């Protein structure tokens, strides 16, 4: 039952009535009288007590506690708010070979944040071999065997192809860690022949933001600038494909409250799902965590063939499997009993696994399926995302940081290798509208927000039904024109949107082809 706090006027009215009851000949209602002055003064003091009592009641419960009271609640369970973290990443300075870029060189981002180089490094000429260089129209695509380390917006010198159209100085667009594109002056044959190379004069330097905040995160391809000029160094500074990431704000009260309530509502046992989630969320920047236990996700794949040589069976799948050596598999459906059963497998390659069971040589007949659990007995799989970063999928270092944190509570009998931590695979879903009535900018904004809210509630392995996303669209409203959605037609997606246990559905591009 909520605390019923009276107003000062209500308290004063009660005081006047009580005063009149005790002293019938008095007039406590006279605004200039002494009784009224005393009553109003006392009512103010009583109201202050009510206000203090409201704070006590509010701060008694985790759901409503604020500031220091919430901190104290967390301390009862050994929890403290996550600290803010600076954003980090590699940037590329270009200029004249032999020029030093000093440590703590300040660079400015278009987000208003300042970053500083962490080492003194010298600019030099760098040439990278291009194993594959192709073109479609005037768009050339270079594919490298390893990460090229370049950034969008850089001018690169391409050379050593027989087809001269590929050669020259071009501004690049990085599309992955191993691929980039540039625009040719004219189309040519594809693929390029010769020994194509990409050359630039610059140096890669690690940099860190001055401010610890999520707003310091930058998407790959962002271009920064020198805060002060350096002779022999160009003013533009380029980010690599991974951008600047890892930055995090101090944990919000709502997020900290959620962690405390998670702890309170789930009795703790050693290394259970709740304790693992709480431990992972101790790492700054981690916003959502999913823990999957052994045998909770099962897969069934059709086998193309199973052959046997001296008892060694080889299963061939029609597409890539996600098995690894030592996993338990259950082949079934073979007419020959020796092929069926429970076995530990050995991964041969992406399409083949082997197992042993004595029997004759030959090929199994029948309709054969192979069942297995993606998380084996004794294992736990943890997925997490960082919603406030430029990309929600964590980097390799961020994954390792979370695993290291979880391992601090791992029982001694559990192998480190059985604690599998990863970021989910992003399954991006585009929406294409062919009809929207009425078509207003406010309605488009509302549709985008409603779909973002819907997609944010998903988790790995979730399904978004067609009714769910169509309802989100139908409930959109333009607050300026006071109009809702009268009619819409989508060409994509159609039907429900499904994801695997290691995928998370994300909203892609919204296109209006009206």
Q: Using alpha carbons only, give the angle 27, 31, 35 rounded to the nearest 5 degrees.
A: 50
Tokens of 293: 């236990």
Q: Which CATH class is domain 86-239?
A: mainly beta
* pLDDT tens figures, 85-119: 999 999 999 999 999 999 999 999 999 999 999 99
Closest-CA residue to 222 (of 201, 237, 210): 237
- Calpha distance 226→64 (Å, rounded): 46
pLDDT at 201: 98
CB distance 262 to 289 below 8 Å: no
Query: Is residue 150 pLDDT above 90, yes or no?
Result: yes
- Calpha distance 113→107 (Å, rounded): 9
Its sign, for the CA torsion 357, 359, 361, 366, is: negative
What confidence tier does 122 reach under pLDDT thresholds 50, 70, 90? very high
Closest-CA residue to 228 (of 116, 64, 357): 116
Q: What is the pTM of this model?
A: 0.67
Rounded mean pLDDT of the chain?
93
Closest-CA residue to 433 (of 397, 485, 381, 484): 485
- Choose the weakest-confidence range: 19-23, 221-225, 358-362, 429-433: 358-362
Q: Using alpha carbons only, give the angle 451, 452, 453 rounded to the nearest 5 degrees.
A: 90
Tokens of 480: 């300026």
- Calpha distance 382→398 (Å, rounded): 13
CB distance 198 to 232 below 8 Å: no
As its CATH architecture, domain 298-373 has Beta Barrel (2.40)
* pLDDT tens figures, 11-51: 999 999 999 899 998 999 999 999 999 999 999 999 999 88
pLDDT at 278: 92
Instruction: Give kind and range of the element (H or E) at residue 373.
Output: strand 366-373
- 337-367 burial: b if 16+ Cβ within 10 Å, else e: ebbbeebebbeeeeebbbbebebeeeebeee
CB distance 407 to 378 below 8 Å: no
- Calpha distance 101→203 (Å, rounded): 9
* pLDDT tens figures, 457-504: 899 999 999 999 999 999 999 999 999 999 999 999 999 999 988 999
């Amino acid at each position: 039952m909520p605390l019923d706090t009276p107003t000062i006027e209500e308290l004063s009215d009660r005081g006047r009535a009580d005063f009149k009851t005790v002293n019938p000949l008095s007039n406590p209602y006279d605004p200039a009288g002494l009784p009224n002055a005393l009553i109003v003064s006392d009512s103010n003091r009583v109201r202050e007590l009510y206000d203090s009592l409201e704070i006590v009641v509010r701060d008694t419960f985790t759901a409503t506690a604020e500031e220091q009271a919430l901190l104290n609640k967390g301390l009862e369970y050994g929890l403290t708010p996550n600290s803010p973290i600076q954003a980090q990443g590699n940037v590329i300075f270009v200029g004249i070979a032999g020029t030093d870029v000093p440590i703590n060189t300040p660079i400015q981002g278009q987000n208003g944040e300042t970053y500083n180089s962490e080492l003194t490094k010298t600019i030099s000429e760098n040439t990278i071999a291009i194993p594959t260089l192709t073109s479609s129209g005037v768009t050339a695509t270079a594919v490298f065997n390893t990460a090229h380390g370049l950034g969008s917006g850089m001018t690169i010198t391409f050379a050593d192809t027989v087809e001269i159209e590929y050669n020259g100085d071009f501004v690049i667009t990085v599309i992955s860690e191993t691929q980039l594109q540039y625009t040719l002056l004219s189309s040519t044959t594809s693929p390029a022949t010769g020994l194509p190379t990409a050359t630039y004069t610059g140096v890669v330097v690690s940099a860190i933001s001055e401010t610890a905040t999520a707003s310091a995160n930058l998407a790959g391809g962002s271009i920064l600038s020198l805060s002060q000029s350096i002779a022999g160094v160009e003013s533009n500074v380029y980010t690599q494909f991974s951008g600047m990431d890892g930055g995090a704000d101090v944990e919000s009260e709502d997020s900290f409250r959620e962690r405390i309530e998670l702890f309170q509502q789930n009795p703790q046992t050693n290394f259970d799902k709740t304790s693992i989630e709480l431990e992972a969320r101790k790492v700054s920047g981690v916003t959502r965590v999913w823990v999957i236990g052994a045998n909770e996700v099962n897969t069934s794949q059709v086998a193309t063939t199973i052959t046997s040589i001296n008892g060694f069976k080889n299963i061939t799948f029609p597409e890539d499997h996600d098995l690894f050596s030592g996993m338990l598999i259950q082949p079934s459906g073979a007419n020959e009993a020796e092929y069926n059963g429970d076995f530990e497998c050995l991964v041969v390659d992406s399409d083949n696994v082997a197992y042993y069971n004595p029997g004759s040589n030959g090929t199994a007949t029948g309709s054969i399926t192979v069942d297995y659990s993606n998380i084996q007995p004794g294992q736990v799989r943890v997925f997490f995302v960082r919603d406030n970063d430029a990309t929600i999928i964590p980097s390799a270092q961020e994954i390792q940081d979370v695993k290291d944190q979880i391992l601090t509570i791992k029982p001694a009998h559990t192998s480190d290798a059985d604690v599998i931590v990863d970021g989910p695979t992003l399954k991006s879903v585009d929406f294409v509208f062919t009809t929207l009535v009425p078509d207003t900018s406010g309605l488009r904004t509302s549709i985008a927000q409603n779909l973002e809210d819907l997609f944010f509630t998903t988790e790995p392995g979730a399904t978004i039904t067609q009714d769910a996303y169509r309802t989100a669209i139908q409930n959109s409203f333009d607050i300026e024109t006071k109009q809702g959605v009268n009619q819409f037609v989508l060409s994509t997606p159609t039907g429900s949107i499904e994801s695997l246990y290691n995928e998370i559905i994300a909203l892609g591009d919204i296109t209006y082809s009206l």
